[in-house]
Amino acid sequence: MGDFDFAVIVNNLPFLWQGLQLSLLLTFLAVLGGIALGTLLALARLSGIKPLALAAAAYVNLIRSVPLILVIFWFYFLVPLAVGRPIGGFYSALIAFVMFEAAYYSEIMRAGIQSVKKGQVYAGQATGLGYWQIQRYIVLPQAFRNMIPILVTQGIILFQDTSLVFVVSLRDLMTVSSIVARTEGRLVEMYLFAALVYFVICFAGSLFVRRLQVRMAT
Partner 1 sequence: MIEMQSVSKWYGDFKVLTDCTTQVDKGEVVVVCGPSGSGKSTLIKCVNGLEPVQEGRIVVDGAEVTARGAKLTQLRAKIGMVFQHFELYPHMSVRENLCLAQEKVLGRSRKEAESRAETLLTRVGMIDHIAKYPGQLSGGQQQRVAIARALAMDPIAMLFDEPTSALDPEMIKEVLDVMVELARDDGMTMMVVTHEMGFARKVADRVVFMDQGAIVEDRPTQEFFDAPSSERAKDFLSKILHH
Residues in contact with partner 1 by CB under 8 A are 117, 119-120, 122-130, 133, 137-138, 141-142, 145
Nearer to partner 1, 129 or 167 (CB): 129
Three-class HEC string of 20-82: HHHHHHHHHHHHHHHHHHHHHHHHHHCCCCHHHHHHHHHHHHHHHCCCHHHHHHHHHHHHHHH
Nearer to partner 1, 132 or 169 (CB): 132
Alpha helices in the chain (DSSP H): 7-11, 13-45, 50-64, 68-83, 88-114, 118-126, 131-133, 140-161, 173-184, 187-217
Nearer to partner 1, 9 or 147 (CB): 147
- Rounded least distance, CB 113 to partner 1, Å: 14
- Rounded least distance, CB 139 to partner 1, Å: 10
- Rounded least distance, CB 25 to partner 1, Å: 30
Torsion of CA 63, 66, 67, 71, to 10 degrees: -60
Nearer to partner 1, 64 or 136 (CB): 136
- Rounded least distance, CB 137 to partner 1, Å: 6
- Rounded least distance, CB 135 to partner 1, Å: 12
Nearer to partner 1, 33 or 124 (CB): 124
Measured at the CA of 142, the angle between CA 139 and CA 146, to 5 degrees, comes to: 135
